[in-house]
Chains A and B, each alone.
Chain A
């Protein structure tokens, strides 16, 4: 079995048939993590516990009693999910060294099904950002920066310039998880998605990023950014694998009162061959300012792909889309101000040495523990929640949110099954360029195509589509109806099959895993 194998199609079978052992798989991943350390995708590598889990898995396979299709599969988890006994930092000084006493529900489910938890991945501090560049452990590097495909296309600006200054960002805030999946150090990773934080890095790193319907997967144990929009996100190398993860995680959780009560039935994705009954909507407002001509062209080609295959492709309108950024800004910062109020150094986390009074201790702790992105959002949020501002900002934003959600309801009611849009405005920017603008500006720009789905609570998935002229991944997004993940993923899988996105050619992986490129597909979407 190869590290780039599809989980479902190949690795699980290999484990079951004994062609590869869980411990071997685990060790190979751990070794690869070490040799790709420069990516800075992982904050914590849980080597000992992972190996132990792998050993236990191996025992189960020997007895012929694997717990599930995920038994023995190495997985990574974004560092804003609680993991008992393993540090959970949210890439913040506030939680450096914080060891949670409990597992997030999604983590517990993975462990209960035998998955091997390799470690915690890097992110923007408290998931605030769209580059995975603003955490205290430093930025995450996009593995594609080191790919043959990118290096071939990049023109060195000077002789002395090397990879070091040319590397591109992963996007964010789940950049570590996206990079981990993209560089083959794990078979799947958990991210979170509040405004696009799973789909954005998925698109930039050439992996599948699924944002499930709000309320489908439990948020218990996910350290919240915006409670009314957060969802756990799933990052995998193919759509089938995303369906497997979804099946193992979805369903009611009594510990999370915002999960739906109905039973969730895991499904297998059919191999769709006939798209003639499908109606694809192209929302015109997603031709947003700043959308690169390259991506515009790819989007258009994708629409044609569906048309030529017999599907109905129509232009639709989601008129309130342009308001979503400011609306999101108000609601997000308000919730952030509230959610961050608990970080006072009293019960857990960083506590300042300032002791003059409780209040001064609180103030110093929060100043020392939070970066300026977090502090900025807290201040904004508190402003919007002031009594004199509440109606004008918060309540107004809630109303606009309702309008945005209704746009989707109307479009889906008119007969459209799935919406097709770009995921990002362009391919991944070089780090040096990205940091020219501040976090707030970048977030506002980058979230525009992904964030409305969070407003409306809808499921959405980014599928790697093609390489840009610079040799970097571009993904396209499908948005579906509430709780219709099966239909969404079925269409996504069909699309994935059509575009045949190329496998990343990484030197490090090649060195470690000689048979990785056995099944490399060189044809790309064109």
Chain B
């Protein structure tokens, strides 16, 4: 005689308990994420399939603030029945943050291997770079190390054809 493995002690167990995974950020904050949403991240997906996801998963490179937003992103993208247009609008709002946070998202997406977030973040940065002159790019992203004048001359000369 076997009893159902997920028999619960309470009188009316929920028909389909959502499995939650707990993540801990670098500064000790914990976040719960549904398993379906966690599958957005390949890293977490691998851990789930190897059954390592039952205990707390530490995410050392990412702070609590960023991790919270990443969890939000995954949950939104795992939602059923959201049409592309509204999801796109939500995504646009999601990346309307300051540059530092945006780069944090990209690094988090890279670490957790979330292709959708990585694409979104990288494309947003790419759109910020496009259409700007080198000086504007340097200013926007606070790039302080430039090429030497000689190197710049060389590249400019080699690619003069690109400028009308």
Check if A and B associate. no
Which residues of B does A touch, CB under 8 Å?
none
